[in-house]
Amino acid sequence: MKRQQANHAAVAAACRANPGQWRPVSEYNSTQSAHRIAKNIREAYVRPSNGGTSPYAPAGAFEATRILTEYGARVEARYVGSDDRAWADAVSALTGGEGA
């Protein structure tokens, strides 16, 4: 089965527009590939050769899962948000209240 290239920026935008709702990312022939993509989404990983920022940033703002299919596995993602306040509080605690 030949699969279409996933448009991760479009998927991430659709997920952000509908928090908590699962959206299909793509279907993969290999369950290992699907597992790796789901992990990369959760961790907001960017290949060093691509540079830039992941559309799924910050890490932890998205959940991802793989669902076994007849042809391999489908990856789905959803936006769950990020706790920016917790990050600001942690930075504030480390800097003694400066710069947060």
pLDDT digits (tens, 9 = 90+) for 20-77: 999 999 999 999 999 999 999 999 998 777 778 899 999 999 999 999 999 899 999 9
Residue 99 pLDDT > 70: no
**Predicted TM-score (pTM) of this structure:** 0.77
54-63: long-range contacts at Cβ-Cβ below 8 A with a sequence spacing of 24 or more? Answer: 54/8, 55/8, 55/9, 55/11, 55/12, 55/13, 56/8, 56/12, 58/82, 62/12, 62/15
CB 77 within 8 A of CB 44: no
pLDDT of residue 100: 44
Alpha helices in 1-100 (DSSP H): 8-17, 31-43, 84-95
Region class of 72: left (phi > 0), else alpha (psi between -120 and 50), else beta:
left
